[in-house]
Amino acid sequence: MNTLIDLTGKHILVIGASSGIGKQTAITLSSAGAKLTLVARTEANLIATLHELEGKGHAYCAADISELSGIEETVKQIIHKNGSLDGMVYAAGISMSMPLQMFKPEKLQSLFDVNFFAFVESVRQITKKGRYNPGMRIVGISSIASLKGDKTHLGYSASKAAMDAAVRCIAKEVAGKDICINTVAPGMTATGMLSRFTDNIGSNSESMKELKSRQYLGVIQPEAVAKTIAFLLSPAAEYITGITLPVDGGMTTC
């Protein structure tokens, strides 16, 4: 990490830091000097992430973010323990694929609870007076699925499109507080989520072959997404707000 992305002493909350992109993002941000607080459900995995971080002063808080009414208390505890925030990365997310006729309201609700409602509630809580420092940056992890449609993906795609739309609106509202907010939209990225998805549809299926041909730069490594997030959290991105930045190996050009 060069000095263009210097996050020395910045307190950044990473929600969804126990695996995949969130874990790698925490590691990358720590190498840029940030002090992290890690959140996810699985305590053992949060501790494993903690052990891979550079620097000192990091903390974790095991929490189920789909319990929306508990988010305020979690945020308060984090700030009490480690100070007000300079940034948040919302990397928690679940994937769910099923045909329209199986997408009953309760299924959609559980998907949206994690992918959308908890994101908005986390943003709402950390942007209250006394909980953030001037210049705070927020990055949500959306997906290229917000722009591309496919059968069985209606819930996942819609939850990510909702994130992107919310960010365009929130950006205008929080600009007066000196806060910037954006999303990144990764294409297929080498994490547990992609392995589960590939197992589901078959690694040699026509759908998988088509997806791979559209993402012509190849499967993305989590480090590449993490570096983009680090950029959006850094002073180098000072005039960027309200956008969705694809990190998609070329998929949106197809």
Ligand X SMILES: NC(=O)c1ccc[n+]([C@@H]2O[C@H](COP(=O)([O-])OP(=O)(O)OC[C@H]3O[C@@H](n4cnc5c(N)ncnc54)[C@H](OP(=O)(O)O)[C@@H]3O)[C@@H](O)[C@H]2O)c1
Q: Which is nearer to ligand X, 179 or 247 (CB)?
A: 247
Which residue, 19 or 127, has its beta carbon nearer to ligand X?
19
**Sole window of 60-68, 71-79, 126-134, 146-154 interacting with ligand X (rule: CB under 6 A):** 60-68
Decide if 1 contacts 31 (C-beta within 8 A): yes
Q: Does 93 bind ligand X (CB under 6 A)?
A: yes
Report, in Å, the least distance between residue 247 CB and ligand X: 9
Position among 10, 11, 13, 16 found at the interface with ligand X (CB under 6 A): 16
Q: Which stretch binds ligand X (CB under 6 A): 71-79, 170-178, 183-191, 226-234?
A: 183-191
> In the complex with ligand X, which residue's Cβ is closer, 26 or 180?
26
Tell whether residue 18 is a contact of ligand X (CB under 6 A). Answer: yes
Q: Which of residues 132-161 bind ligand X (CB under 6 A)?
A: 141, 143
Q: By CB under 6 A, which span of 72-80, 87-95, 128-136, 234-242 interacts with ligand X? A: 87-95
| Contact residues: ligand X, CB under 6 A | 16, 18-22, 40-42, 45, 64-66, 91-95, 114, 141, 143, 186, 188-189, 191-194
